[in-house]
């Protein structure tokens, strides 16, 4: 297992990806050790036992399992995430000739009655739309954020304005800014899919950013990381991802909206762009998506296509009903001999 992780590291996978793989695989190997299972020769029944364990763990959401994504146990998406390193590990064992098959698998083609088919994996995949705040919830978040320091306010503004992921935001450097054109360069090494992009930000955010740069000069005049810690222990050091997460968590709890997270601003921005009628490819470019598949989530979340179809359909139905009423009126007139 350590050799497999070392190969992924040498191939240049992101450190947090390696950490996630290591934690997920260690969890599975711990279960194998506890149950007396040799992980090299484990079969599908053993992996199914691991899935059962994941779905029955205590959870803050409740004590009973109603479905695979409710009650106790890990969420469906988390279970899928836990199985990824296990599946990749067995792929490695197959490539090395140690095993002939993968007990996790990737799903198979299942014929249907009406033709076609679909993929079925080890665990059914539940696809949920991301949560975004209502207009009132967003106002509540901004009301609390207004009391934050200028650094936190400009970070929240940029996170929404440019639909930035947490790492993209915290990794911004002073030379990534183009204040004259109100543009940001998001470097490839900070993105999830290693795609560099240039994104704009609004004039109000630009004013906040200007205030922060003046404030930052009092902390450090050195070029480098844009957002700096102001704590006594880490004064003038780059702001960490975890510190920003704590800031957003504190704002969310103060506003009474615990579901709000560092990624919510990105979801909200891309949904707003879809609502405004942006083309699919334009949103994908802005978001830094490699394909438009992920971007479709925000089109669905905005309800734009369904609303357009509904409005057009209702317009046609309304016109048809009015026409029928007019015909009814004409028929009544002719019958009365008027």
Q: Residue 55 in 3-state DSSP?
A: helix
- The backbone torsions φ and ψ at residue 160, rounded to the nearest 5 degrees and listed phi first, read -80, -50
pLDDT given for residue 15 in this prediction: 83
Average pLDDT on 80-100 reads 91
> What pLDDT score does 120 carry?
54
Specify the pLDDT at position 64: 43
pLDDT of 70 above 60: no
Q: What is the mean pLDDT of residues 137-153?
A: 95
- What pLDDT sits at residue 124? 62
- Positions of CATH 1.10.443.10 in the chain: 135-289
pLDDT of 78 over the 90 cut:
no
Was domain 135-289 assigned CATH 1.10.443.10? yes
Mean pLDDT of 76-96: 88
- Say what the pLDDT of residue 17 is: 86
Q: Which residue did the predictor score with more confidence, 109 or 246?
A: 246
% of the chain exceeding 90 in pLDDT: 57
Average pLDDT for 229-241? 93
Q: Please state which of the ranges 30-44, 100-114, 183-197, 234-248 shows the lowest mean pLDDT.
A: 100-114
In this prediction the pTM is: 0.70
The pLDDT-based confidence of 333 (bands split at 50, 70, 90) is low
Q: Which residue has the higher pLDDT, 68 or 198?
A: 198
- pLDDT of res. 165: 95
pLDDT number for residue 304:
65
Q: Which residues of 192-207 are buried (b: 16+ CB within 10 A; e: fewer)?
A: eeeeebebebeeebbe
Sign of the dihedral through C-alpha 164, 170, 174, 176: negative
Examine the pLDDT at 202 and tell me if it is beyond 50. Answer: yes
Lowest mean pLDDT among 50-54, 92-96, 175-179: 50-54
Fold classification of 2-110 is DNA polymerase; domain 1 (1.10.150)
What pLDDT was estimated at residue 79? 82
- Rounded-to-integer distance, Cα 126 and Cα 116, Å: 21
Nearest to 268 by CA among 127, 75, 135, 126: 135
Per-residue confidence (pLDDT) for residue 299, from 0 to 100 = 81
65: confidence class by pLDDT, cuts 50, 70, 90: very low
Q: pLDDT category, 221, cuts 50, 70, 90?
A: very high
CA 80-160-286 angle, 5° bins: 75
pLDDT at position 328, please? 63
Confidence (pLDDT) at 77: 74
The whole-number average pLDDT for the span 31-41 is 93
As to burial, measured by CB atoms within 10 angstroms (0-12 exposed, 13-18 middle, 19+ buried), residue 52 is exposed
Mean confidence (pLDDT) of the chain: 84
Q: What sign does the dihedral 153-156-161-162 (CA atoms) show?
A: positive
Q: How confident is the model at residue 123 (pLDDT cuts 50, 70, 90)?
A: low
- For the chain, residues classed under CATH 1.10.150.130 are 2-110
What is the pLDDT at residue 71?
45
pLDDT bucket at 180, cuts 50 / 70 / 90: very high
């Amino acid at each position: 297992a350590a050799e497999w992780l070392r190969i992924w590291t040498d191939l240049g996978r992101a450190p947090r990806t390696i950490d996630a793989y290591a934690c997920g695989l260690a969890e599975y190997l711990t279960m194998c050790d506890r149950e007396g299972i040799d992980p090299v020769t484990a079969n599908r029944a053993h992996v199914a036992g691991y899935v059962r364990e994941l779905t029955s763990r205590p959870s803050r959401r409740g004590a009973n399992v109603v479905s695979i994504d409710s009650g106790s146990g890990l969420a469906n998406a988390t279970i899928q995430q836990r199985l990824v390193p296990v599946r990749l590990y067995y792929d490695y064992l197959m490539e090395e000739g140690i095993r002939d098959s993968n007990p996790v698998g990737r799903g198979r083609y299942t014929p249907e009655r009406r033709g076609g088919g679909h993929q079925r994996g080890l665990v059914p995949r539940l696809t949920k739309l991301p949560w975004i705040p209502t207009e009132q919830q967003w106002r509540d978040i901004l009301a609390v954020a207004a009391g934050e320091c200028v650094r936190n306010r400009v970070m929240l503004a940029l996170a929404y304005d440019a639909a930035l992921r947490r790492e993209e935001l915290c990794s911004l450097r002073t030379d990534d800014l183009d204040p004259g054109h109100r543009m940001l360069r998001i470097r490839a090494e900070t993105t999830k899919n290693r795609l560099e992009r240039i994104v704009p930000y609004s004039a109000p955010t630009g004013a906040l950013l200007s205030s922060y740069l003046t404030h930052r000069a009092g902390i450090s005049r050195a070029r480098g990381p844009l957002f700096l810690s102001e704590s006594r222990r880490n004064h003038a050091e780059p702001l960490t991802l975890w510190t920003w997460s704590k800031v957003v968590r504190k704002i969310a709890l103060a506003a009474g909206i615990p579901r709000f997270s560092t990624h919510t601003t990105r979801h909200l921005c891309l949904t707003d762009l879809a609502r405004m009628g942006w083309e699919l490819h334009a949103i994908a470019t802005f978001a830094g998506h490699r394909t438009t598949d992920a971007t479709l989530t925000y089109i669905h979340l905005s309800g734009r296509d369904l609303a357009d179809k509904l409005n057009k359909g209702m317009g046609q139905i309304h016109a048809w009903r009015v026409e029928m009423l007019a015909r009814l009126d004409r028929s009544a007139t002719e019958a009365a001999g008027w």
